[in-house]
């Protein structure tokens, strides 16, 4: 049963904080020399927070924040399941945007009011089983 006023993807203030954090993360990436190509790209089964170019490398960047240490470190939020979903979303993005470039999966995190931290090559696609 859904309570009146409830939203299936979290309350509005949480979504608004997330949107502000993603905007700040994009500004941080720009300051690091990235070129933003796309953001908040939704595909069946997932979403890409940021698609960017870092020199010749095409990067799919997951943005994670934590309000406080009580919720754990932000990087812990990128679970193997989440990484698989990002990889799947990236594969679908590439179907519509064919690119001849090396690919990388980065994560940008911020814990509490701390600084943004960039983790390049944070995870890689799992090899397909044969």
Which one is predicted more confidently, 51 or 76? 51
pLDDT at 77 over 90: no
Answer whether residue 50 shows pLDDT above 60: yes
Range 63-92 average pLDDT: 83
Cα 26 to Cα 16, 34, 36, 38, 108: the distances in Å are 15, 9, 7, 10, 9
Quick check: is 16 in a domain?
yes
**Contact by Cβ (8 Å): 89, 50:** no
Query: What are the pLDDT digits (tens) for 2-19?
Result: 344 444 455 667 778 778
The pLDDT, as a whole number, for residue 46 is 86
- CATH number of the domain to which 104 belongs: 3.40.1350.10
Range of the domain at 86: 12-110
Would you say residue 19 lies in a domain? yes
The pLDDT assigned to 5 comes to 44
Q: How far apart are CA 128 and CA 130, in angstroms?
A: 6
Residue of 90, 66, 91, 61 whose CA lies nearest to 76 = 66
pTM of the prediction? 0.84
Provide the number of structural domains found in the chain. Answer: 1
């Amino acid at each position: 049963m859904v309570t009146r006023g409830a939203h299936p993807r979290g309350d509005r203030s949480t979504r608004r904080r997330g949107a502000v954090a993603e905007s700040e993360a994009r500004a941080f990436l720009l300051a690091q020399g990235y070129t933003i190509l796309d953001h908040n790209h939704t595909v069946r089964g997932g979403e890409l927070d940021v698609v960017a170019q870092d020199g010749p490398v095409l990067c799919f960047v997951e943005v994670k924040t934590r309000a406080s240490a009580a919720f754990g470190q932000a990087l812990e939020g990128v679970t193997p399941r989440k990484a698989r979903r990002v990889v799947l979303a990236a594969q679908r993005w590439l179907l519509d945007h064919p690119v001849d470039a090396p690919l990388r999966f980065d994560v940008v995190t911020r814990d509490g009011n701390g600084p943004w931290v960039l983790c390049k090559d944070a995870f890689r696609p799992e090899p397909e089983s044969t």
